[in-house]
Amino acid sequence: MRKLALFCLTLALAAAAIAAPKSVYDFTLKSIDGQSTPLSEYHGKVVMLVNVASKCGYTPQYTALEALYEKYKDKGLVIVGIPANNFMGQEPGTNEEIKTFCSKKYNVSFPMMSKVSVKGDDKTPLYDFLTGKSTDPKFGGEIQWNFTKFLVGRNGSLVARFEPAITPDSPEVKSAIESALAAQ
């Protein structure tokens, strides 16, 4: 009986290991318009995932994010805005309000997702993965504020994390993007 229990436990652990997400491509979000968006659609591209908010001191970073997107999209960069209301209620709007704000105020043309939680008990699984110390001890750790940027290489692995105060047009962000784009 003990051998059977040990065998069952081994199978369960093996199944969990196989089912555990291995890259951002294992996740699906909803677009700002409510359409299912598997991140695997971006396989082979360099992806920057950014938790965004409309009423934050960092909100003007939308301008630099859009400029980065325009500069590098033809080389394989995709920026994905992920609205979240986890920090002092700075993203209170509906998805439609967020979409209108981003379009009218910042001319955002990069993909925007539906609002999610990036911190706490209701954290979306993608952010469990991105912030998990077991995923990548170098880049893990809770999201501290809006406009945290995760850079994902063409293979779906994290290659950099930039905290909110590091602007999208900073030399270190541009350098990381260019290095990721150059990697095949």
What is the spatial distance between Cα 184 and Cα 180, in angstroms, rounded to a whole number?
8
Report which secondary-structure segment, H or E, holds 49: strand 46-52
Q: Where are the alpha helices (DSSP H) in the chain?
A: 2-19, 61-72, 95-106, 125-131, 171-182
CB 156 within 8 A of CB 126: no
Residue 112 CB partners (closer than 8 Å, separation 6+): 31, 32, 52, 80, 81, 82, 83, 98, 99, 102
* β-bridge mates for residue 162, sequence order: 149
Q: Phi/psi at 29 (nearest 5 deg)?
A: -115, 175
pTM of the prediction? 0.88
Query: What does the pLDDT look like over 95-104, one tens digit per residue?
Result: 999 999 999 9
Q: In what order do the strands lie in the sheet with 46-52?
A: 77-83, 46-52, 149-152, 158-162
Catalytic residue IDs? 56
The chain-wide mean pLDDT, for the chain, equals 90
Confidence of residue 15 (pLDDT cuts 50, 70, 90): very low
* pLDDT tens-digit readout, 146-176: 999 999 999 999 999 999 999 999 999 999 9
Q: What is the Cβ-side half-sphere exposure of residue 59, based on CA atoms within 13 angstroms?
A: 16
Residue that has been written with the tokens 């750790």 in this structure: 141
Hey, what CATH topology would domain 21-182 get?
A: Glutaredoxin (3.40.30)
Label residue 137 by pLDDT band (50, 70, 90): confident
